[in-house]
Chain A
Amino acid sequence: MAPTSEPTVFVVDDEEDIRDALRMLLASVKLKVETFGSAGEFLAAYDPARAGCMILDVRMPGMSGPELQEQLRANNISIPVIIITGHGDVPTAVRTMKAGAIDVLEKPFSDDLLLERVHQALQRDAALRTEQAERDKIAKRLARLTPREREVMGAIVQGKLNKVIAADLGLSTRTVEIHRARIMEKMQVRSVSNLVQMVLRVSGEGSEIST
């Protein structure tokens, strides 16, 4: 899962010449490029672990660009997408932007604009991947907690005092203190505020943390 590989620009367009021209353009700025003639071809070859971004055509036989975009989202794949279209109809633009597209570029597009968007997309991908790595780390630590420790941690994050926690859980204050020390150790934090930050960072994904 380590995003160590060189980022790649994935181009999906049914027009061969568009693919080929984009390949040349991106290669001219030393970007790694892979091209695909259809959504299906891309899905078959794509490994979500690979860093990069995507340039996606709207109208294609079979699965369209927006449909592919939605399918990736549904599978929790958050590769940044730049939409290119032969014909910028507003509803499609809105739909793809809402779905998280970096931008919608109308053909024919300027190379500067496209490259700028590609770089933005790659930055976003890098940021997302860093963030993801962080969250993975926290999740690993959380996984080491015992159920009781998780219970206690939830109460700590809510700002409850040891006494109150002990009363709530029917434990002695001493026991709660021992749990707290274990939690701080396992989560590798020094202060409760650090712990709260860490838990909030992952609260979007792990349901077991919420109360």
Chain B
Amino acid sequence: MTQNISNKTPQEVLRLVIEATTPATGEGFFNILMRKLTTSLGVRKAFVTECLDYPTTRVRTLAVWADGALVENKEFSLAGTPCEEVINGKKICFYPRDLGKHFPLELQYGWESYIGIPIVQPSTDKVMGHIAILNDKEMNDAILVESMFRIFAARAASELERLYTAEALQASEEKYRLLVEHQTDLLVKLDNKGRLVFVSPSYCALFGTSEAEVLGTQFLLSVHEEDHAAAREAWSALFQPPYSGRVRQRVKTIKGWRWLSWNAQAVLDDDNQVREIVATGRDITEQRQAEEVVRLVAEATAPVTGEEFFRSLMRRLASALNVRSAFITQCLDYPPTRVRILAYWRQGDFIEPREFNLRDTPCEIVVGQGKICYYPKEVAKHFPNDKGLVDLKSYIGVPIFESSGGKVIGHIAIFNDKEMDDELLVESIFRIFAARAGAELERLQAAQALRASEEKYRLLVENQTDLVVKLDSNGQLNFVSPSYCELFGQSEAQLLGTRFNPLLSDGGENQPVEAWQKLFRPPHSCRTENHVLTTQGWRWIAWAAKASLDSQQRVREIVAVGRDVTEQKRAEEQARHHMNELAHVSRLSAMGEMASALAHEINQPLASILTYAHATLRLLESGETGELRHAVKRVIKNTERAGDIVRHLRDFVRKGEPQRTLVKVSYLVREVVRLTAAEARQSGINVTLDLTNDLDPIHVDNIQLQQVLFNLLRNGMEAINAGNGDKRELLIRASQDGENCVEIAVSDSGPGIPPAIADRLFEPFVTSKPHGMGIGLSISRSIIDAHGGRIWATANADQGTTFHIKLPIRSDNDGANI
């Protein structure tokens, strides 16, 4: 069993953990984790739990793997178990043997050894659960088991905290792979007396010898004396089944003491006697260092979070790489130009964190381009403007990425006053640190966001008159706030389990059902308003609902927050009423101002009618009836025309409730142009239309929109009349902006808007006209606002002003105006 454990290096464990758990989350994740734990440590049982109470007396298993199969989860009491020590003592407990002596309760199951590790939530430092393994044999090699165990625990903890470290870890795993592949294996063949019969060039190179020199000599290396026993043991293992051996030993080479890992296999003859031995060796010095780093990172950082975490990480990094300084930063802006140092270890001490500008520093490349930046020597030459680099020779910086988006959120960098070599090792160690730091940085940010939202939620619930309900995916209430009960005069017990109608019932309208459906597709939220009978009478309640999803992206539950908006609606209603009144008055007064032009407009058909009638009479008297039919037809036509003008005027000055219908933009514009045609003609202004074909109809109040356009057209004409320009042009353009908006622009060739009033243009009683009231534009804006649109003015390039209206084709405000 000991053999079994030592066969797995921490790297392999790391790889296993990553491979096993990358795609899985939740329950699946823990199942896999436990299975891998038992197989990699060669034990019979492993399980992970979460605490059910605090201080913890009971836990529930999240996954139990025993004897090669998944076992059903259960809750159990901690009393009298080693788990109690793990969770309440918040420490690793390791009983390599004789478990029954310490915990008689466990004796009945025949367990000999136990190891348990708490899963600690870094942000709160609270134990969330634990992982434990049990075996019916003794466990040795406490350090190795423990350090592997920590890796599992860390992984479990991050899963419980829903941290996405997998991506980052995968990056470091990738580096490991490179590290391993770039190694040149040593290969030797020995006869059964231990004499060398073959050596690979790499072997000769490592030991500074030649093939000729060593062949035929005894395979004897200068092995570190601490490793002698293991070497002897491995050698003897080759002469009995399974005729193979592994050993790790420190050996003196021309590069100094190196860790070598040997894997030897005996080749047998027909009589099952050892004929020769093939051994492959690998320099694992860097690997050992990397393993050490993994252990250090795990050990150093498991219990700490926040600033302390980063400090600890930087100190470990500097010492692991034996460099002078190491620091970690967080980006302050995006795209990044400034960073804040979170922890800075320099020459054996922490120095005060500060912010700095990235310009002209190597960090700028790391953070700005999101790539590793490595200057093994002469870094100061590359960045002459960076004063911090004086006296320094080498630099390496690694960006820290947001796990989900790939956005750079900070970086880690080290400096040294010596040159650096062994890029691969440094970089891979570095990656491990960056991954760990990234997870923490993200966790910090997430924790902050969570705290903020928790705070918000707490305030909401505490201060509310707001209503809060929770529903299951069938729309049944499973939580109601006291305010909700109060408003509807029903108890919680009466309400729970009933259907929540504001989102569900169609009640003859389509909106609530549509709102409900919105919850089941991204972004899984909706808003709706309902008029409901409460203990305070009929009230308007506005609901905002949001669904939360499970790991399969199915709606798990829905939280809806409701607010009584009756007063608000009443105020809106009143404001709208005032606006309508004002709009009406303004239309009347505009008509008054235009009376003479309009009289002319009506006079034209009247004059035609009268003249045709006289002519008709004369023709009748003279008996020449040839053209009579024609004359009468023209009389009818002109009478209709006069009638149209009158009807149009009456509509325009009519006082009525706003009513939204689908209206063609071209129709709107043409109607208003007709209303103002007489005035344009009188003023000698040329009105040009540029209407894009195929504009979608817009959902608006026809008269109100005409009023806005009318105001803009008349303003434009008045501006032209006020100026002395020869150019007397009014241009009306309408175009569609994608599928969502229609824009109408009215451009005049007047003298432009006086700067003094430019920014208050849409306020009431602001005007540049000698006789203007200054309400036209303010009413126009109210109308456009009520339609969910926007109105603004721009100065033309040559002369004059353009007023723009942008209106949504489908207004979300539709409901508000009913």
Residues of A within 8 A of B (CB): 15, 17-18, 20-22, 24-25, 27-29, 59, 61, 84, 86-87, 107-111
User: When chains A and B are docked, how far (Å) is the Cα of A108 from the Cα of B607?
Assistant: 4
Q: Taking A28-B619, A59-B682 as contacts, is the C-beta distance between A20 and B634 under 8 angstroms?
A: yes
User: When chains A and B are docked, how far (Å) is the Cα of A25 from the Cα of B620?
Assistant: 12
For B615, the chain A residues whose CB sits under 8 A away are: 21, 24-25, 27-28, 111
Is the CB–CB distance between A87 and B614 below 8 Å? no
Residue from B604, B618, B631, B681 within 8 A of A111 (CB atoms): B618
A123–chain B nearest beta-carbon distance, Å: 21
Q: Taking A17-B605, A86-B603, A108-B606 as contacts, is the C-beta distance between A28 and B634 under 8 angstroms?
A: no
Is the CB–CB distance between A108 and B611 below 8 Å? yes
For A111, the chain B residues whose CB sits under 8 A away are: 611, 614-615, 618
Residue from B603, B608, B610, B616 within 8 A of A87 (CB atoms): B603
The closest CB in chain B to the CB of A17 belongs to B608
For A25, the chain B residues whose CB sits under 8 A away are: 611, 614-615, 618
Residue from A27, A28, A29, A86 within 8 A of B607 (CB atoms): A86
Interface positions of B from 583 to 628, Cβ below 8 Å from A: 596, 599-600, 603-612, 614-616, 618-619, 622, 624, 627
Is the CB–CB distance between A108 and B618 below 8 Å? no
The closest CB in chain A to the CB of B621 belongs to A28
B778–chain A nearest beta-carbon distance, Å: 32
Is the CB–CB distance between A18 and B608 below 8 Å? yes
User: When chains A and B are docked, how far (Å) is the Cα of A22 from the Cα of B619?
Assistant: 13
Known contacts A20-B612, A24-B627, A111-B611, then 12 further A-B pairs from the complex at CB < 8 Å, ordered by chain A residue: A15-B604, A18-B604, A21-B607, A21-B611, A21-B631, A25-B611, A28-B619, A59-B682, A87-B596, A87-B599, A107-B607, A111-B618
Q: Is B638 an interface residue (CB 8 A)?
A: yes
User: When chains A and B are docked, how far (Å) is the Cα of A110 from the Cα of B607?
Assistant: 9
User: When chains A and B are docked, how far (Å) is the Cα of A25 from the Cα of B608?
Assistant: 11
Most buried by A among B596, B609, B612: B612
For B638, the chain A residues whose CB sits under 8 A away are: 17
A-B contact pairs, 16 of them (CB 8 A): A15-B607, A17-B604, A17-B612, A17-B638, A18-B607, A18-B608, A24-B619, A25-B615, A27-B615, A28-B618, A28-B622, A86-B603, A86-B607, A87-B596, A87-B599, A109-B611
User: When chains A and B are docked, how far (Å) is the Cα of A21 from the Cα of B611?
Assistant: 5
For B610, the chain A residues whose CB sits under 8 A away are: 108-109
User: When chains A and B are docked, how far (Å) is the Cα of A27 from the Cα of B626?
Assistant: 12
B601–chain A nearest beta-carbon distance, Å: 9
For B681, the chain A residues whose CB sits under 8 A away are: 59, 61
For A87, the chain B residues whose CB sits under 8 A away are: 596, 599-600, 603
The closest CB in chain B to the CB of A18 belongs to B608
For B608, the chain A residues whose CB sits under 8 A away are: 15, 17-18, 20-21
User: When chains A and B are docked, how far (Å) is the Cα of A175 from the Cα of B619?
Assistant: 69
For A29, the chain B residues whose CB sits under 8 A away are: 618
Most buried by B among A17, A18, A84, A111: A17
For B604, the chain A residues whose CB sits under 8 A away are: 15, 17-18, 86, 107
Residues of B within 8 A of A (CB): 596, 599-600, 603-612, 614-616, 618-619, 622, 624, 627, 631, 634, 637-638, 681-682
User: When chains A and B are docked, how far (Å) is the Cα of A109 from the Cα of B622?
Assistant: 21
User: When chains A and B are docked, how far (Å) is the Cα of A61 from the Cα of B631?
Assistant: 26
Is the CB–CB distance between B618 and A107 below 8 Å? no
Residue from B599, B634, B682 within 8 A of A21 (CB atoms): B634
For B624, the chain A residues whose CB sits under 8 A away are: 28
User: When chains A and B are docked, how far (Å) is the Cα of A18 from the Cα of B641?
Assistant: 14
For B618, the chain A residues whose CB sits under 8 A away are: 25, 28-29, 111
The closest CB in chain A to the CB of B603 belongs to A86
User: When chains A and B are docked, how far (Å) is the Cα of A61 from the Cα of B683?
Assistant: 10
For B599, the chain A residues whose CB sits under 8 A away are: 87
User: When chains A and B are docked, how far (Å) is the Cα of A111 from the Cα of B682?
Assistant: 26
For A61, the chain B residues whose CB sits under 8 A away are: 681
Is the CB–CB distance between B606 and A107 below 8 Å? yes
Residue from A21, A59, A84, A107 within 8 A of B612 (CB atoms): A21
For B609, the chain A residues whose CB sits under 8 A away are: 108
A5–chain B nearest beta-carbon distance, Å: 24
User: When chains A and B are docked, how far (Å) is the Cα of A67 from the Cα of B493?
Assistant: 90
The closest CB in chain B to the CB of A23 belongs to B615
Most buried by A among B596, B599, B608, B612: B608
Is the CB–CB distance between A108 and B682 below 8 Å? no
User: When chains A and B are docked, how far (Å) is the Cα of A27 from the Cα of B609?
Assistant: 17
Is the CB–CB distance between A108 and B603 below 8 Å? yes
